[in-house]
Amino acid sequence: MSEDRSSNEQKSWLNKLTQAFAHEPKNRQELLEVLRDAHQNKLLDSEALAIVEGAIQVADLQVRDIMVPRSQVVTIKASQSPKEFLPVIIEAAHSRYPVIGETLDDVLGILLAKDLLPLLLADQPDFNIRDMLRPATFVPESKRLNVLLREFRANHNHMAVVIDEYGGVAGLVTIEDVLEQIVGDIEDEHDVEEDSYIKPLPSGDFLVKALTPIEHFNEAFTSDFSDDEFDTVGGLVMSAFGHLPKRNEVTVIGEFRFRVLNADSRRVHLLRLTPLAR
């Protein structure tokens, strides 16, 4: 009798264990669904869910998906004097710049803007920009973002030059670009002001509030989107998606690519706009 009871208890325990793992996610999509269910059940707030989703999905992205393209890379020529390249640095307001030889494909190194501060203290007639360069890191377009982030952290790098299959420069990628895929837009100095709808970014993209009136958008970009159905850019974008998009979802409308930077369970708040016709 005791053996039967022991056997039944063991079966009961095994059944409970099997049931506990019966709904364990078998792939990444199922895992995301579990996390979203947890959010619906108030176990995760929206911000935490967005960060976890970004961390999971970053493994699916490659450098080519987020890099600053070649046409938008701001460079300094090694032959330029400080008087020639300082206005470029001031206007772009970046912290790092590729220094090149005669062409963009000849990257000699990376110049940190902070390394130029000694120029403010004394004249340096024998100034040579090559003496200030840090080694450039080169990565292929196909490198996975999770691998790149690990390498950035291990090597204490913040920028990499992206190389295409022919060995030419395809663009640039920074650690900030990668982190934005996880935690959302972190360009605080470029946030859209309260009284503004559209903010240009140094990369050539724009931050656009979803509440931007379509009429205002058309004036800013000489576009001709109709405002018969929707009054705002957010409404136009949601219509293009056909559903309420989540952060980092992308859609193309006409000659513009819209990436969702901030959205909640009810509406879109902030978009990143990339003009495609250049």
pLDDT for res 190: 44
Q: What is the chain's pLDDT, residue by residue, as a tens digit (278 residues)?
A: 555 555 554 555 455 445 444 566 677 777 777 778 877 887 777 777 777 777 877 777 889 888 888 888 999 999 998 888 988 888 887 889 999 999 999 999 999 988 888 776 666 667 788 888 999 999 999 999 999 999 999 998 899 999 998 889 999 999 988 887 777 665 544 444 444 688 887 678 888 988 899 999 999 999 999 888 888 999 999 999 988 888 778 999 999 999 988 777 677 888 999 998 75
* Cβ atoms within 10 Å, residue 89: 17
What is residue 18's DSSP assignment? H
pLDDT for res 138: 96
Architecture of domain 64-181: Roll (3.10)
**CA–CA separation, 258 and 255 (whole Å):** 10
Alpha carbon dihedral 120, 126, 132, 138, in 10-degree steps, equals 130
pLDDT for res 245: 87
pLDDT for res 184: 66
CATH T-level fold of 185-275: 3.30.465
**CA–CA separation, 38 and 245 (whole Å):** 19
Q: DSSP string spanning 165-226? A: TTSSEEEEEEHHHHHHHHH----GGGPPPTT-SEEE-TTS-EEEETT-BHHHHHHHHT----
Cβ within 8 Å of residue 211, ≥6 positions away:
197, 232, 233, 234
pLDDT for res 5: 52
pLDDT for res 122: 63
Indicate the pTM of the whole model. 0.58
